[in-house]
Amino acid sequence: MHKGDVIADRYRIERLLVRRGTHQVHEATDLAHEAPVAVKVSTPSTAYYELSDQIQRAVRLGRELERASAGIVRPLDGGEVGDSLYLVMDYIHMAEDLDLAADGVDERLVRLRRAALLVRELHALRVVHRDVRPDSFLISGSGRVHLTNFGLGRSLDDRLDDADVGRSVLALAQEHGYLAPEVLDNGTLDVASDVYSLGVMLFELLTGERPYRGTPDDVIAAHKEVLDGYQPQPIPSDFRPSVAPELDEVVQWATHPDPLQRFATVDELLAALEEVAPDRPVTTGRRAHPPRRRAPPPPPVRHTERMQAPQVGPAPGPGEQYVYPEDRHDEFEYPEGYDPDAGYDEYGEAYEAAPDGEEAAAPPAPEPPPEPEVDPLQRVLVTLRRTLPLIAGGVSLQIDAHEVKFVYFSAQEDISGTVALSYRVEDREGRFGHVEQRVTLDLAAAQGKPSGEANLLLAANAINLYGDGLACQFGDDRLRLRRSVLLGPTAPLEPDDLQRHLDLLLRVWPQVFAALRDVQDGAPWNEALAFLLRPPVPDYERLETLKAMLEREGYAISELEEGEQIGIGTGDDQVEIACYQEQILGTFLVRPWQAPKSETRALKKNKHARQTEAILAELNRKNLESFCTLAWDPKRGVIATAPLAEVAFVPERLDLFLGLLRSAKDEVFESLGEGEGQAQRRKTWMFWRK
């Protein structure tokens, strides 16, 4: 390409910016808009069609990056020109590649943080880059960092087969040493792969080296040896002893071979960096805390004495590998007691000597080490932190010990808009939590008859009773619309199940929220929420499927409500199950109680019913942290309800679901005259009855 050449009748070449191998990058003018652009022209000798697919994918991604900041270099257009391929991008004035070797460590950390913030922004736009490396970042003449090279990226909404992208990665990736092992192995789509690449960049920033070199197969094999415990995980202090142990730990978490053991988001990596290297100019935009650990950093083997390889020559240069001489074993000084001619098993134990002509007996297999104890709550939080960026409209906004806040928009056509939600894990054992939408509430300003608070209590009870899995709970300044979500550390929640809970919440909450605002302004609860009283349509097919599964598993089943429900269990332990809107709804009678006739008449006349209001207020308080939603059914008494949105039925999760519903019977209801003594007598009676 020469100055004045026009590509696709639109892009006029102005000057050559850089030439690298088979690629040339030119400054050009977009004649349609008289705007400067950058044009990358490639003439590959191999992998032509893979590169063409890469350019087309980059252009598709560019359309999804319209909302990106100026730090994202968007792919704008691309195609063929003669025997070459071209890609048009945003133009960055006086752009240079990100240099991880220039200046001191502090300045390099600043640049890395700025680069990581761009990757975090990309994840918020539901895009995974998968080619994060120093060459994918540019620094403009003004010092701003920019992210480019989107040819291997993918939208989280893209249904393209991972294996196809994996082959493209292997064919086109410029530096395999920055790619996560799962990307090299099968092209897996996950934000954790970008976290790994940032960890490798941090490793290189601290040492000038990358932890792994070689072909993709070499890199995959090296990670497997680390994962299986045969080799220690490389850490920066292996190369630079002056590197602080805290930075070693950050790198170890970021580059763990198992993606489930890495930092779940870029936010976690940035927070850990800020914790060990504070007082830097670039932060995550909020006060960062170290990520909540899932127990101590998992080995990857951390030996107290690390065996050093013999020095057989100078360190390899870029793209080279260590080459050992044939007689390297003869030069090695073996540890005391090691016989190189003896037989050794895979654990390094010598076989017992045997007479000539006989085979030596292998030693008994050693007992496997005990499984490390992992906090169930932390395991659940790790699952949530890894799952939410895959299905939510944005990565986590805030993470604390029990809660994840995130932005979500649904792919369902009947659900529109973006909403900020919160996921609270209420149970220390990680068995359940709540996904909820919170709104501010001024309870003192609530209006209505017989009082603003009583009107709101009756409205919340109606939602809890008739809301098909939606629950309402409020305090003095917050109102929550939520769904209880079963987690279960032994049979964990699947992403599709969580997404179904989120969609079901978003489908109904706006209408219910608008009605509650009317109630707060004084509208009678039964008029504002009249739409909830319509009976839902049962899903008979799903109910029959569930019934057949329960019968195979040996549950005691009975039909209820003319086949619209089934009962699981007998007597006081029976849980009623109905199927509506792609979900299971369980109901359990906790306490039989009917309001006195005088209170029933008072409620109809919008007058105070003191005991009923006391019961509703107590149920509202208990609903803050309970898996079940407690409600008062005027025909029956206090009931516990909960939804179960399962794509596939799992008996272990159903058992946990039933157990949590039945556990509501152990609650003490002071408004019904129960106290500690009566509660203890009830527990004793329940014990002997069983």
pLDDT at 348: 41
Greater model confidence, 184 or 630: 630
| Residue 9, token pair as written in the block | 């009748």
Q: How confident is the model at residue 312 (pLDDT cuts 50, 70, 90)?
A: very low
pLDDT at 281: 38
Is the pLDDT score of 401 beyond 70?
no
Q: How confident is the model at residue 378 (pLDDT cuts 50, 70, 90)?
A: low
pTM for the complete prediction?
A: 0.51
Q: How confident is the model at residue 191 (pLDDT cuts 50, 70, 90)?
A: confident
pLDDT at 326: 34
For residues 597-621, average pLDDT: 92
Q: In what order do the strands lie in the sheet with 398-399?
A: 398-399, 403-409, 418-424, 432-440, 478-486, 471-474
Q: Give per-residue pLDDT as tens, 261-287.
A: 888 889 999 989 988 876 443 333 333
Q: Give per-residue pLDDT as tens, 488-507.
A: 766 667 777 888 888 888 88
Is the pLDDT score of 320 beyond 70?
no
User: Helical H runs in 229-366?
Assistant: 236-239, 245-254, 266-276, 328-331
Max alpha carbon distance in the chain (Å)? Answer: 103
Q: What is the CA radius of gyration of the chain?
A: 31
pLDDT at 392: 59
In the predicted model, what is the mean pLDDT of the chain?
77
Phi, psi (degrees; rounded to nearest 5) at 130: 70, 10
Q: What percent of the chain is modeled with pLDDT above 70?
A: 74
Residue with tokens 């004495």: 305
With a CB cutoff of 8 Å and minimum separation 6, the contacts of 429 are 376, 377, 489
Q: How confident is the model at residue 302 (pLDDT cuts 50, 70, 90)?
A: very low
Greater model confidence, 268 or 562: 268
Is the pLDDT score of 291 beyond 50?
no
Is the pLDDT score of 330 beyond 70?
no
Contact 24, 16 (CB under 8 A): yes
Residues carrying CATH 1.10.510.10, the chain: 104-148+155-276
Greater model confidence, 162 or 43: 43
pLDDT at 186: 64
Q: What percent of the chain is modeled with pLDDT above 90?
A: 29
CATH number for the domain running over 104-148+155-276: 1.10.510.10
How far apart CA 628 and CA 634 sit, in angstroms, is 18
Is the pLDDT score of 207 beyond 70?
yes
Residue 175 CB coordination number (10 Å): 17
145-147 and 137-139 beta bridge pairing? antiparallel
pLDDT at 533: 80
The CA–CA distances, whole Å, from 634 to 296, 465, 474 equal 51, 10, 21
Contact 400, 452 (CB under 8 A): no
β-bridge mates for residue 77, sequence order: 88
Q: Give per-residue pLDDT as tens, 76-100.
A: 999 988 888 999 999 988 888 888 8
pLDDT at 366: 54
Is the pLDDT score of 236 beyond 90?
yes
Is the pLDDT score of 109 beyond 60?
yes
pLDDT at 47: 64
Residues carrying CATH 3.30.200.20, the chain: 6-90
Contact 85, 78 (CB under 8 A): yes
pLDDT at 323: 36
For residues 377-395, average pLDDT: 63
pLDDT at 377: 67
Among the listed ranges 344-358, 442-456, 539-553, which one has the minimum average pLDDT value? 344-358
- Give the homologous superfamily in CATH for domain 6-90: Phosphorylase Kinase; domain 1 (3.30.200.20)
Q: Give per-residue pLDDT as tens, 423-448.
A: 888 777 778 888 888 888 888 888 88
Greater model confidence, 59 or 159: 59
pLDDT at 574: 94
Is the pLDDT score of 53 beyond 60?
yes
Greater model confidence, 558 or 182: 558
Q: How confident is the model at residue 681 (pLDDT cuts 50, 70, 90)?
A: very low
pLDDT at 289: 35
Greater model confidence, 637 or 400: 637
Which of 257, 297, 240, 279 has the alpha carbon at shortest distance from 113?
279
Q: How confident is the model at residue 351 (pLDDT cuts 50, 70, 90)?
A: very low
pLDDT at 379: 66
> Averaging pLDDT over each range in 153-167, 247-261, 649-663, which range is the top one?
247-261
With a CB cutoff of 8 Å and minimum separation 6, the contacts of 470 are 463, 481, 482, 483, 504, 505, 508, 509, 512
Phi, psi (degrees; rounded to nearest 5) at 641: -125, 155
pLDDT at 527: 92
pLDDT at 416: 63
H/E run at residue 481: strand 478-486
Is the pLDDT score of 634 beyond 90?
yes
β-bridge mates for residue 25, sequence order: 18, 40
Contact 393, 421 (CB under 8 A): no
